[in-house]
C-alpha cells in the first residue's frame, strides 16, 4: 500500500471520530501499518507529516492506559463556509493569477480551496516581494500574539503588531513597541530571524488604529522635532516621477513650463538632502535660507574632497 | 511531467482535490489536469487510490465512490471530505496580499466583487485590515496600459535615470506591470532595437501613433535580470560608517571592513548619473577607490549642481 493511502485513511478516521482515539484504536482501524513496535513509530511519523501539511491533529489527555488520544477537531480543520458568490470567487482567482508574490508559497493550493472557477489565463499584473517572515508576522497579528525579533543595529524588539503595509517596494510592520512604549514602524527586510511568537490573545489593537497612516510617507518626515517647510524647484523633466513619488496629497504647484514648486515638511534633514541630491541638476532648494545653506555647504565639501586620501 | 511528489505533498493535493470533486460531482481529466497541474496518468493513479480510501471496515459502502470514465470521473464523496481544509497561514497571507494588491491597481474591473470577497475572507479568518498594499500611480499609467491592450505603438519622452537624459523613442508596449512597488512597461524599443523595461513614472509624454504592432514573444517574467542595462561596470567605493544604508539598498560586494567602521565596497554601476547620485548622497567622507577615471565623479557633479545655487 502506498503511504499516501494510509495517510488519507488516517485523516478520514481522525476527522470522523467524535471522541479522541488512542494509538491502539487508530492502529486497529487504519490499514497499512506494520506490525509490532514499528507501528507506533510509523504513526508518529504520519502524525508529523499531517501537521506539517497543516492538518490540525490534536492531542488530548484521556482516561485509561494509553493516557493520550488523538482527533482532528472539525472546527479547526474545515475552511469556514465563505458564502462567496460566483463573481467574488472569480475575483479571488483573478487576484491570485494576476499577482505574483515572489518567493512566496501557498498561492497554488489556495486556489484549489477557494472552489472551482474556470481557469483564468491572466498575464501577471504585479509582482511583490514576499519575505518569509511575512507569513509568521501576519499570523501572529491575526491571533494577537506578541512577536519578538532581532532588528538591525537595535537589538531585540518586542512588538504588538497592528498591521503590515507594502509601500514603495518595501514591507513594513507597524505596531506597539514594548521598549519604546509607543507605535513604531519596522522594515521587515531588516528583521533578523527567527521571529518568536508569543501567546495568542495577548493584546488588543486599539480601535481606529490605522497602520498605513503611521508610516512616514517620506524619509524626511521621519523622527521627532519640528517640521520646516522646504521650498524646492524641480525641472519639468522629472515632473512625473516626482509627482508619482510624492503622491496626491503633497503640496505641488506646476509652472507653465512644466516645472514644479514643492513645499515639503522636513523633519529629518539628511533624508531630505539625500532625496534632493538624487535629483541631481534638476532640483534646487529655494528655502528656507538655513536649509539651502546646508545643501550648499554639503555640495562644497563634496566638491573639495580630496578623495583617495590614505586612511 | 512532474517528478514523483513526496507523500506529504500528494496528501495535501488529495485533500484539496477530493472536496473540489465533491463540489462539482464530476470532472473531465482535462479539467482536473488544468486545475491541479497533473497528467491523465497521474490523475487516474490518484483517483484509483482515493477509491480505496474511506472509513473502517472499508467495505464498498464505506469507501469513497469513484467512477472512472474514458475522459473523466464521477465521484460521490462522504461528508467528512466534502469541505476543503482551511487555508494555512501561508495560503491566507497569499490570498489577502494578492487580493489587496489587485485592488491597489488603478481601474481594477472586478473591484467591487474582489473587495467583498476579501472582507468575507478576512471575516472567516478573524482578521481585518492586517495587510495594506500601496502601489504608485504615475500620471501616464492609464495611457500606457491602453496602448498595451490595443497593441498600439507609442512615442514616449522618457527620462533615463542612469544616464540623466531625456530621449524620445518609439516603443511597442507589450506588458504593463508593477514590480516591487513601481510600474513598468515592458516594450520593444525601436531606438535600441531590443526589448526593455521602462519605468512608467519616468515617461514625460505619451503620443499614440495609431499603428498596431505584432507582439513578439512574451518573456517568462521580467525580473531583476531583465532590468540590468547593457552598460554596467564595476566601481569600488570607500563607504563611510554612516553610509551603511547604501550597502542595504543596492546590490554590492563588501570587499573589506575597516577598523573605523568604514567599508570598501564594489558596486555594479549603471550609468554615470547613478554613480553621481550615490557619491553625492554618501557625502565628502566617501571616495572612489577605482577605477581612476571615476575618482572625481562626485566632486565634478557637486560643482555642476553648485552652479545652480550661485
Determine which of A145-154, A276-285, B131-140, B227-236 has the lowest per-residue pLDDT on average. B227-236
Give the integer Cα–Cα distance in Å for A52 and A50: 5
Give the per-residue pLDDT at A118: 60
Residue A79 is nearest to which of B58, B84, B105, comparing CB atoms?
Answer: B84
pLDDT value of position A100: 84
Give contacts of B102 with chain A, Cβ < 8 Å.
94-95, 98-99, 125-126
Q: Using one digit for the tens of pLDDT, what is the confidence trace for A122-143?
A: 677 888 888 889 999 999 999 9
Angle between helices B29-36 and B40-50 in degrees, nearest 10:
100
What is the Cα–Cα distance from B83 to B78, expressed in whole angstroms? Answer: 10
pLDDT of amino acid B164? 87
Rounded Cα distance, A230 and A228, in Å? 6
- Rg of the Cα atoms in chain A: 28
B97 prior amide bond cis, ω within 30: no
Distance CA B5, CA A208 (A): 47
Query: Mind listing the pLDDT tens digit for each residue in A230-268?
Result: 999 999 999 998 998 888 888 999 999 989 999 999 999
Burial status of residue B65 (CB atoms within 10 A of its CB: 0-12, 13-18, 19 or more) = middle
Q: Report how far residue B144's alpha carbon sits from residue B156's, in angstroms, rounded to the nearest whole number.
A: 10
Residue A172: helix, strand or coil by DSSP?
strand
Q: How confident is the model at residue B302 (pLDDT cuts 50, 70, 90)?
A: very high
Distance CA A273, CA A278 (A): 8
Q: Do A112 and B35 touch (CB under 8 A)?
A: yes
**In the block, residue with C-alpha cell 472509513:** B55
Answer yes or no: is pLDDT of A309 > 50. Answer: no
Burial classification of residue B200, based on how many CB atoms lie within 10 Å of its CB (0-12 exposed, 13-18 middle, 19 or more buried):
buried
First to last CA, chain B: 68
The answer to whether the CB of B241 falls within 8 A of the CB of B283 is: no
Q: Is B262 on the interface with A (CB under 8 A)?
A: yes
Chain A contacts in chain B segment 47-76 (CB below 8 A): 49-50, 52-56, 58
User: Between residues B207 and B137, which one has the greater pLDDT?
Assistant: B207
Q: In this predicted model, which residue has the larger pLDDT, A93 or B287?
A: B287
* Cα A262 to Cα A255: distance, rounded to the nearest angstrom: 11
Residues 46-105 of A with CB under 8 A from B: 49-50, 52-55, 76-85, 87-92, 94-96, 98-102, 104-105
Q: Does A144 have pLDDT greater than 60?
A: yes
- Band (pLDDT 50/70/90 cuts) for residue B238 is very high
The helix/strand/coil state of A18 is: coil
Mutual orientation of helices A3-16 and A37-52 as an angle, nearest 10°? 80
Sign of CA dihedral A231, A235, A236, A240: negative
Grid coordinates in use for B154? 507609442
**Which among A91, A121, A132, A247 is the top mutation candidate for probing chain B, defined by the most B β-carbons within 10 Å of its own β-carbon?**
A91
Chain B interface includes A307 (CB < 8 A): yes
Q: Which residues contact B58 (CB under 8 A, 6 or more apart)?
A: A31, B52
Provide the pLDDT for residue B231.
Answer: 63
Q: Which of A54-58, B27-31, B124-128 is the least confident region?
A: B124-128
Quote the pTM value: 0.82
* Position A97 pLDDT exceeds 90: no
A98, A127, A304 ranked by CB distance to B179: nearest: A127
Shortest distance, CA A289 to any CA of chain B (angstroms): 12
Q: Using DSSP, state whether A187 is helix, strand or coil.
A: strand
Measured between CB atoms, which of A16, A30, A94 is closest to B102?
A: A94
What is the average pLDDT score of chain B?
A: 88
Comparing B103 with A285, which gets the higher pLDDT? A285
Which of the two residues, B291 and B124, has the higher pLDDT score? B291
Q: Residue A106 — pLDDT band, cuts 50, 70, 90?
A: low
Predicted pLDDT of residue A117: 61
Please compute the mean of the pLDDT values over residues B276-281 and round it to a whole number. Answer: 94
CB contacts, 8 Å: B247 with chain A:
none
Three-state DSSP at A145 gives coil
Mean per-residue pLDDT, A82-93: 87
Give A61 to chain B, closest Cα distance, Å.
Answer: 24
Which residues on chain B are in Cβ contact (under 8 Å) with A249? Answer: none
B157: closest CA among A79, A106, A258, A4?
A: A258
User: pLDDT tens digits, residue range B167-189?
Assistant: 999 999 999 989 888 899 999 99
| pLDDT tens-digit readout, B73-98 | 999 999 999 988 988 888 889 899 99
Mean pLDDT of B109-127: 84
pLDDT tens readout for residues B100-111: 998 888 877 667
Contact B130, B97 (CB under 8 A): no
Instruction: Report the pLDDT averaged over residues A143-164.
Output: 93
Q: Quick one: average pLDDT of B281-300?
A: 93
Choose from B11, B122, B304 for mutation: most chain A CBs within 10 A.
B11
What is the SS3 string spanning chain B? CCCCCCHHHHHHHHHHHHHHHHHHCEEEHHHHHHHHCCCHHHHHHHHHHHCCCECCCCCHHHECEEEECCCEEEEECCHHHCCCECCCHHHHHHHHHHHHHHHHCCCCCCHHHHHHHHHHHHHHHCCCCCEEECCCCCCCHHHHHHHHHHCEEEEEEEEECCCCEEEEEEEEEEEEEEECCEEEEEEEECCCCEEEEEEHHHEEEEEEEEEECCCCCCCCCCCHHHHCCCCEEEEEEEECHHHHHHHHHCCEEEEEECCCCCEEEEEEEECHHHHHHHHHHHCCCCEEEECHHHCCHHHHHHHHHHHHHC
pLDDT of residue B169: 96
- Interchain contact, A305 vs B260, CB within 8 Å: no
**How many Cβ atoms sit within 10 Å of the Cβ of residue B61?**
9
Q: How far apart are CA A198 and CA A140, in angstroms?
A: 8
**Residue from A1, A2, A6, A8 to probe the interface with B (highest B Cβ count within 10 Å):** A8
Indicate the angle between helix axes A3-16 and B40-50, nearest 10 degrees.
50
Nearest-neighbour CA in chain A from B289: distance (Å): 6
Instruction: Return all residues near A110 (Cβ < 8 A) that are at least 6 apart.
Output: A96, B87, B91, B92, B94, B95
Of B35, B127, B273, nearest to A142 by CB-CB distance is B127
Name residues 141-200 of chain B within 8 A of A (Cβ). Answer: 159, 164, 166, 175-182, 199
CA distance A159 to A180: 10
Decide if B135 and A126 are in contact by the 8 Å CB cutoff: yes
As a whole number of angstroms, the distance between CA A57 and CA B178 comes to 40
Q: Are B162 and B202 in contact (CB under 8 A)?
A: no
Q: Measured between beta carbons, which residues in chain B are less than 8 angstroms from residue A135? A: 89-90, 93
Give the N- to C-terminal CA distance of chain A in Å, as an integer. Answer: 71
Alpha carbon distances (Å) from A57 to A45, B14, B81: 13, 17, 16
Query: Whose CA is closest to B269, among B285, B283, B256, B252?
Result: B252
User: Distance (Å, rounded) from C-alpha B156 to C-alpha A96?
Assistant: 32
Q: Given the DSSP bridges, would you call strands A99-102 and A126-129 parallel, antiparallel or unpaired? A: parallel
Distance CA B141, CA A2 (A): 54
Q: Going edge to edge, which strands form the sheet with B232-239?
A: B252-257, B263-270, B232-239, B287-290
User: Which cell goes with A279?
Assistant: 535629483
Q: Higher pLDDT residue, A105 or B33? A: B33
pLDDT value of position B172: 96
Q: Is the dihedral of CA B123, B78, B35, A133 positive or negative?
A: positive
Cα–Cα dist B114/B256, whole Å: 51
- Whether residue A15 lies within 8 A of chain B, CB to CB, comes out as yes
Cβ separation of A113 and B87 shorter than 8 Å?
A: yes
**pLDDT score for A306:** 61
pLDDT of A40 reads 94
Residue B43: pLDDT over 90: yes
Residue A237 is nearest to which of B53, B121, B166, comparing CB atoms? B166
The pLDDT of B136-156, averaged and rounded, is 93
| Average pLDDT of span B160-165 | 86
pLDDT of residue B222: 53
C-alpha cell recorded at residue B54: 474511506
pLDDT of residue A114 exceeding 50, the answer is: yes
Q: Could you tell me which of B131, B94, B99 has the C-alpha nearest to residue A141?
A: B131
Asked whether residue B1 carries a pLDDT value surpassing 50, the answer given is no
Residue A14 backbone dihedrals phi, psi, to 5 degrees? -70, -25
List pLDDT tens digits, range A156-205: 999 999 999 999 889 999 999 999 899 999 999 889 988 999 999 999 99
Amino acid at each position: 500500500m502506498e503511504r499516501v493511502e494510509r495517510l488519507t485513511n488516517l485523516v478520514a478516521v481522525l476527522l470522523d471520530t467524535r471522541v479522541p482515539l488512542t494509538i491502539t484504536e487508530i492502529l486497529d482501524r487504519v490499514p497499512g501499518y506494520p506490525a509490532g513496535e514499528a507501528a507506533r513509530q510509523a504513526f508518529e511519523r504520519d502524525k508529523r507529516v499531517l501537521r506539517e501539511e497543516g492538518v490540525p491533529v490534536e492531542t488530548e489527555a484521556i482516561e485509561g492506559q494509553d493516557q493520550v488520544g488523538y482527533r482532528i477537531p472539525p472546527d479547526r480543520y474545515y475552511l469556514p463556509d465563505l458564502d462567496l458568490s460566483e463573481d467574488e470567487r472569480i475575483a479571488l482567482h483573478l487576484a491570485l493569477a494576476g499577482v505574483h508574490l515572489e518567493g512566496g508559497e501557498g498561492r497554488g493550493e489556495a486556489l484549489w480551496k477557494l472552489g472551482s472557477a474556470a481557469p483564468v489565463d491572466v498575464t501577471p499584473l504585479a509582482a511583490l516581494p514576499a519575505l518569509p517572515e511575512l507569513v509568521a508576522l501576519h499570523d501572529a497579528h491575526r491571533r494577537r500574539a506578541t512577536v519578538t525579533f532581532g532588528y538591525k543595529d537595535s537589538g531585540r524588539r518586542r512588538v504588538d503588531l497592528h498591521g503590515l503595509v507594502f509601500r514603495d517596494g518595501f514591507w513594513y510592520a507597524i505596531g506597539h513597541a514594548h521598549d519604546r512604549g509607543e507605535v513604531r514602524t519596522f522594515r521587515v527586510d531588516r528583521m533578523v530571524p527567527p521571529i518568536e511568537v508569543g501567546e495568542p490573545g495577548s493584546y488588543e489593537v486599539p480601535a481606529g488604529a490605522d497602520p498605513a497612516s503611521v508610516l512616514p510617507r517620506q524619509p524626511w518626515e521621519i523622527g521627532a522635532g519640528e517640521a520646516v517647510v522646504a521650498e524646492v524647484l524641480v525641472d519639468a523633466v522629472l515632473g512625473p516621477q516626482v509627482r508619482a513619488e510624492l503622491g496626491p496629497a503633497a503640496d505641488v504647484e506646476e509652472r507653465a513650463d512644466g516645472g514644479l514648486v514643492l513645499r515639503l515638511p522636513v523633519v529629518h534633514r539628511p533624508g531630505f538632502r539625500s532625496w534632493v541630491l538624487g535629483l541631481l541638476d534638476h532640483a534646487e532648494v529655494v528655502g528656507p535660507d538655513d536649509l539651502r545653506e546646508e545643501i550648499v555647504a554639503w555640495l562644497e565639501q563634496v566638491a573639495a574632497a580630496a578623495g583617495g586620501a590614505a586612511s | 511531467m512532474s517528478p514523483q511528489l513526496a507523500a506529504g505533498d500528494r496528501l495535501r493535493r488529495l485533500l484539496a482535490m477530493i472536496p473540489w470533486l465533491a463540489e462539482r460531482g464530476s470532472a473531465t481529466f482535462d479539467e482536473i489536469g488544468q486545475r491541479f497541474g497533473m497528467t491523465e496518468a497521474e490523475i487516474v493513479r490518484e483517483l484509483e487510490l482515493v477509491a480505496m480510501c474511506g472509513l473502517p471496515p472499508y467495505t464498498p459502502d464505506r469507501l469513497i465512490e469513484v467512477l472512472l470514465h474514458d475522459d473523466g470521473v464521477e465521484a460521490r464523496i462522504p461528508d467528512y471530505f466534502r469541505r476543503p481544509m482551511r487555508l494555512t497561514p501561508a495560503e491566507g497571507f497569499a490570498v489577502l496580499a494578492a487580493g489587496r494588491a489587485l485592488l491597489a491597481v488603478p481601474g481594477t474591473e472586478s473591484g467591487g466583487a474582489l473587495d467583498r470577497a476579501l472582507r468575507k475572507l478576512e471575516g472567516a479568518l478573524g482578521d481585518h485590515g492586517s495587510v495594506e498594499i500601496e502601489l504608485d500611480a504615475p500620471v501616464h499609467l492609464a495611457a500606457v496600459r491602453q496602448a498595451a491592450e490595443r497593441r498600439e505603438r507609442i512615442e514616449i519622452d522618457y527620462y533615463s535615470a542612469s544616464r540623466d537624459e531625456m530621449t524620445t523613442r518609439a516603443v511597442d508596449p507589450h506588458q504593463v506591470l508593477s514590480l516591487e512597488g513601481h510600474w513598468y512597461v515592458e516594450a520593444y524599443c525601436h531606438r535600441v532595437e531590443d526589448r526593455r523595461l521602462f519605468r512608467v513614472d519616468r515617461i514625460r509624454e505619451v503620443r499614440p501613433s495609431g499603428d498596431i504592432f505584432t507582439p513578439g514573444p512574451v518573456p517568462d517574467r521580467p525580473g531583476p535580470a531583465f532590468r540590468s542595462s547593457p552598460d554596467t561596470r564595476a566601481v569600488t567605493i570607500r563607504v563611510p560608517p554612516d553610509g551603511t544604508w547604501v550597502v542595504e539598498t543596492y546590490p554590492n560586494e563588501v570587499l573589506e571592513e575597516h577598523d573605523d567602521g568604514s567599508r570598501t565596497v564594489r558596486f555594479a554601476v549603471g550609468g554615470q548619473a547613478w554613480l553621481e547620485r550615490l557619491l553625492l548622497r554618501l557625502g565628502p567622507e566617501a571616495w572612489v577607490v577605482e577605477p581612476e577615471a571615476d575618482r572625481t565623479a562626485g566632486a565634478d557633479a557637486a560643482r555642476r549642481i553648485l552652479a545652480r545655487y550661485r
